[in-house]
């Protein structure tokens, strides 16, 4: 009897394994870009030179390290909303000044009220479905009299979101607007505990049930020790935790347009660094939304006053931004909305 049970189990196991691999193959086959030349046209608008201008601005001393609730951070939020206004990218009708106020009650004790900055491009076919591209706008402020510029953390992410927004609005003006809406969300209070994104997901401006995916960027302009001999990489974290399809869409985007080495080291469930839980995408994941976190890993200037704009690898920042843009393009334009399911 024991032997029989064991052999039945083996049979069931091998059948379901086969079905699983077939499902994966079918899923991979279903993901393809039908407009590669158009995507390439707008990828070209994402340039190292333009990214550099934004990183230098965001990390400049005048913003005093952008501590949540301080004057320098308020000023960078104002800079961010003026950028969207200058590109004719809209604010949500419920928040016509682009700001979602984040009240003092939800922030740590000693901080002033702050704000998330929200802009979006409305989808042409499915305007009520939303893709988020997020990056935190705050940093560490001034510590022991020293300004922490946070060029990588998260000037690099802020610049990447800006360049993608510009590329998407150019495409829209040429008649290639996204079918689904794309939300550009710059959250506050990340460094002090992911507060801006937590507040946003508890008080969403667009319905969370219609949120297709959140692509979060936090530090993508530098190279860590593990890759110092091959800089052509990005860590991809969390993409397969809620949607297997998202994991393969990123691979297809990479294969078609960029060819970075996608490093999944920090995506391991038991990774002791626990990066999956440590940036703003996590608050979306807790609501069941498929997320991905793009990250360059830690480096010698991480959370130090030496995280300056001159140390950013701008061609690499551009390449990584292109991967995220191509992923967002697919999510926004695919015939079927992303399947939030693990296969």
Binding residues for Zn ion, rule: CB under 5 A, are 153-154, 218
Round to whole Å and give the CA distance between 246 and 243. 5
Residue 137 CB, nearest approach to Zn ion (Å): 10
Residue 260 CB, nearest approach to Zn ion (Å): 20
Which CA distances in Å does 27 have to 96, 110, 328, 329? 40, 49, 18, 18
Residue 136 CB, nearest approach to Zn ion (Å): 6
Residue 219 CB, nearest approach to Zn ion (Å): 6
Round to whole Å and give the CA distance between 76 and 136. 11
| Closest-CA residue to 304 (of 143, 148, 72) | 148
Smaller CB separation from Zn ion, 252 or 301: 301
| Closest-CA residue to 87 (of 166, 177, 185) | 166
Q: Which of 140, 190, 191, 245 is catalytic?
A: 190
Round to whole Å and give the CA distance between 119 and 316. 26
Smaller CB separation from Zn ion, 137 or 154: 154
Smaller CB separation from Zn ion, 218 or 307: 218
Bridge partners for 293 per DSSP: 216, 237
Smaller CB separation from Zn ion, 139 or 180: 139
Spatial CB neighbours of 58, under 8 Å, sequence gap ≥ 6:
66, 76, 79, 150, 151, 155, 158, 159
Residue 3 CB, nearest approach to Zn ion (Å): 56
Helix axes 2-30, 244-253, angle to 10 degrees: 40
| Closest-CA residue to 320 (of 121, 91, 55) | 55
Smaller CB separation from Zn ion, 163 or 218: 218
Task: Give yes or no for a contact between 137 and 154, defined as CB atoms under 8 angstroms apart.
Answer: yes
Round to whole Å and give the CA distance between 200 and 117. 10
Give residue 261's Cα distance to chain centre: 18
Residue 242 CB, nearest approach to Zn ion (Å): 22
- Tell me whether residue 336 is one of the annotated catalytic residues: no
Catalytic residues: 190
């Amino acid at each position: 009897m024991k032997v029989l049970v064991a052999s039945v189990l083996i049979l069931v196991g091998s059948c379901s394994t086969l079905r699983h691999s077939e499902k994966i193959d079918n899923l991979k086959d279903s993901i393809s870009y039908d407009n590669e030349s158009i995507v390439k046209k707008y990828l070209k608008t994402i340039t190292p030179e333009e990214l550099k201008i934004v990183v230098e601005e965001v990390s400049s001393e005048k913003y005093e390290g952008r501590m949540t609730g301080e004057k320098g951070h308020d000023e960078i939020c104002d800079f961010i909303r003026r950028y969207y206004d200058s590109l004719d990218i809209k604010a949500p009708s419920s928040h016509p000044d682009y700001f979602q106020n984040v009240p003092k009650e939800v922030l740590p004790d000693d901080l002033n009220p702050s704000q998330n900055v929200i802009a979006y491009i409305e989808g042409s076919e499915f305007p009520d479905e939303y893709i988020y591209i997020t990056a935190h706008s705050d940093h560490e402020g001034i510590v022991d009299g020293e300004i922490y510029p946070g060029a990588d953390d998260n000037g690099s992410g802020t610049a990447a979101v800006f360049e993608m927004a510009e590329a998407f609005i150019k495409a829209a003006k040429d008649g290639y607007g996204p079918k689904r809406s794309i939300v550009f969300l710059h959250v506050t209070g990340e460094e002090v505990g992911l507060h801006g994104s937590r507040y946003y997901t508890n008080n969403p401006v667009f319905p969370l049930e219609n949120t297709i995916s959140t692509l979060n960027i936090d530090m993508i302009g530098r190279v860590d020790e593990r890759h110092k001999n091959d800089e052509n990489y990005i860590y991809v974290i969390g993409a397969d935790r809620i949607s297997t399809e998202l994991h393969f869409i990123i691979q297809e985007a990479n294969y078609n347009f960029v060819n970075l080495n996608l490093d999944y080291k920090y995506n391991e469930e038991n990774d002791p660094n626990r990066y999956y839980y440590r940036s703003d995408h996590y608050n979306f994941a807790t609501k069941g939304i498929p997320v991905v976190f793009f990250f360059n890993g830690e480096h010698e200037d991480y959370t130090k006053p030496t995280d300056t704009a001159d140390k950013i690898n701008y061609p690499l920042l551009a390449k990584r931004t292109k991967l995220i843009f191509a992923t967002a393009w697919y999510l926004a334009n695919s015939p079927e909305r992303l399947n939030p399911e693990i296969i």
